[in-house]
């Protein structure tokens, strides 16, 4: 029986103004997974890292996604999965989505691509539900499709891949944990009309800017008047990082997903590296350990190779 290796990329959800509806995939980091079909029915999971994540399929995001897929497969089907997480859980760059999306992309390859990409997003959302308590696809869809994706609706699922110009991405991950469920529970349930108008102007501006390749429009649309003011209090140094990155020439950016990672988009790699320097200076000075990435947008999504 063939055995495959999957690279499942980190993702940036929300892209500042598009809470739960826009995300993009990063070239780095990637989770690595090995999968094969098994004679043992169900899902068998083994961890290849030290994060000690649960291996019971129903408590594991990859497992929950595969269990959803198994419901559509003949009884007796089984998958063996080994997972090495290079994307730290709770980092805000789509760690749970990488496991869930990677698992279903891998399983689909083992099944000769029986399912569509939309089906895979549906299955993987069961994994996201285990992680954060709710289904959202703004990490999963870009992890599977690659590039920028707009999720116009999840019920029914309506995913629109977006064209985008070349972009360089800088991410800083301060080494504190923010649980997505906590970062969601503090959000206000009501939005003022004036804020909603500003936000949907920004979302439309971001989509138009991406598809037209208009960097200035992308930059000025990266504004969030609804979620960021509430969540940014969970991230030490956030306002200073944002201001200094803008001074260093970033187009814009903000909280990656539910945080604590912060991302910035830049037009050139040299600016993206300068942005990294500025981020590092802030977290070194305030004394919080951090990890940075300077990368680009992954346009292919999760990738499978034979081993």
Residues annotated catalytic, as ranges: 128, 180
Measured in residues, the chain has a length of 307
The smaller minimum CB distance to ligand HSE, of residues 14 and 232, is found at 14
Q: How far is CA 23 from CA 35, 160, 173, 176, in A?
A: 26, 11, 18, 22
CB of 156 to ligand HSE, least distance (A): 19
Q: In the beta sheet, which residues pair with residue 172?
A: 262, 292
CA distance 260 to 90: 8
State the number of binding residues for ligand HSE (CB under 6 A).
12
CA distance 307 to 37: 14
The smaller minimum CB distance to ligand HSE, of residues 30 and 139, is found at 139
The smaller minimum CB distance to ligand HSE, of residues 4 and 146, is found at 146
Q: Does 13 bind ligand HSE (CB under 6 A)?
A: yes
CB of 3 to ligand HSE, least distance (A): 30
CA distance 248 to 240: 12
Assigned token pair, 79? 């998958």
CB of 152 to ligand HSE, least distance (A): 15
The smaller minimum CB distance to ligand HSE, of residues 139 and 170, is found at 139
**Within 85-124, which residues bind ligand HSE (CB under 6 A)?**
none
Contacts with ligand HSE, 127-146, as mask; x by CB under 6 A? ---------x-xx-------
Residues 6+ apart with CB under 8 A from 219: 209, 251, 252, 265
CB of 135 to ligand HSE, least distance (A): 11
Contacts with ligand HSE, 230-269, as mask; x by CB under 6 A? ---------------------------xx-----------
CB of 227 to ligand HSE, least distance (A): 7
The smaller minimum CB distance to ligand HSE, of residues 35 and 173, is found at 173
CB of 11 to ligand HSE, least distance (A): 8
Judge if the upstream peptide bond of residue 260 is cis by omega within 30 degrees of 0: yes
Long-range contacts of 154-159 (CB under 8 A, 24+ apart): 154/125, 157/118, 157/121, 157/122, 159/117, 159/118, 159/121
The smaller minimum CB distance to ligand HSE, of residues 139 and 266, is found at 139
Among 7, 8, 9, 14, binds ligand HSE (CB under 6 A): 14
Return the biggest CA–CA distance within the chain. Answer: 58
- Specify the residue for token string 């999306």: 101
Half-sphere exposure of 274 (CA within 13 A, CB side): 14
Residues 6+ apart with CB under 8 A from 11: 23, 24, 25, 26, 93, 94, 97, 98, 138, 139, 140, 142, 143, 257
**Within 168-187, which residues bind ligand HSE (CB under 6 A)?**
180, 183-184
Stretch that binds ligand HSE, among 2-10, 12-20, 215-223, 287-295 (CB under 6 A): 12-20
Instruction: Report which residue's Cβ sits closest to ligand HSE.
Output: 257
Contacts to ligand HSE by CB under 6 A: 13-14, 19-20, 136, 138-139, 180, 183-184, 257-258
């Amino acid at each position: 029986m063939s055995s495959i290796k999957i690279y499942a990329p980190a993702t940036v959800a929300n892209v500042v103004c598009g809470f739960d509806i826009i995300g993009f995939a990063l070239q780095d980091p990637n989770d690595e997974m090995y999968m094969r079909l098994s004679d043992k029915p169900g899902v068998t999971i083994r961890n290849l890292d030290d994060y000690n994540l649960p291996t019971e399929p129903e408590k594991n995001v990859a497992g929950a996604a595969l269990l959803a897929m198994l419901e559509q497969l003949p009884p007796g089907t089984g998958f063996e999965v080994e997972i090495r997480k290079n994307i730290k859980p709770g980092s805000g760059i789509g760690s749970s989505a990488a496991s869930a999306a990677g698992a279903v992309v891998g399983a689909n390859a083992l099944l000769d691509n029986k399912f569509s990409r939309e089906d895979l997003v549906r299955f993987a959302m069961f994994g996201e539900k285990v992680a954060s308590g709710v289904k959202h696809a703004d990490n999963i869809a870009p992890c599977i499709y690659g590039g920028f994706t707009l999720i116009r609706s999840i019920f029914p699922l309506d995913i629109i891949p977006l064209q985008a110009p070349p972009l360089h991405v800088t991410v800083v991950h301060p080494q504190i944990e923010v649980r997505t469920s906590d970062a969601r529970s503090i959000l206000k349930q009501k939005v003022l009309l004036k804020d909603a108008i500003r936000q949907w102007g920004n979302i439309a501006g971001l989509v138009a800017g991406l598809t037209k390749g208009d960097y200035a429009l992308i930059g000025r649309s990266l504004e969030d008047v609804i979620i960021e003011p509430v969540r940014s209090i969970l991230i030490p140094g956030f306002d200073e990082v944002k201001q200094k990155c803008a001074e260093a020439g970033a187009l814009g950016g903000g909280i990656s997903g539910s945080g604590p990672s912060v991302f910035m988009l830049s037009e050139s790699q040299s600016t993206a590296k300068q942005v990294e320097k500025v981020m590092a200076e802030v977290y070194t000075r305030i004394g919080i350990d951090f990890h940075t990435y300077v990368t680009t947008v992954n346009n292919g999504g999760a990738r499978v190779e034979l081993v």
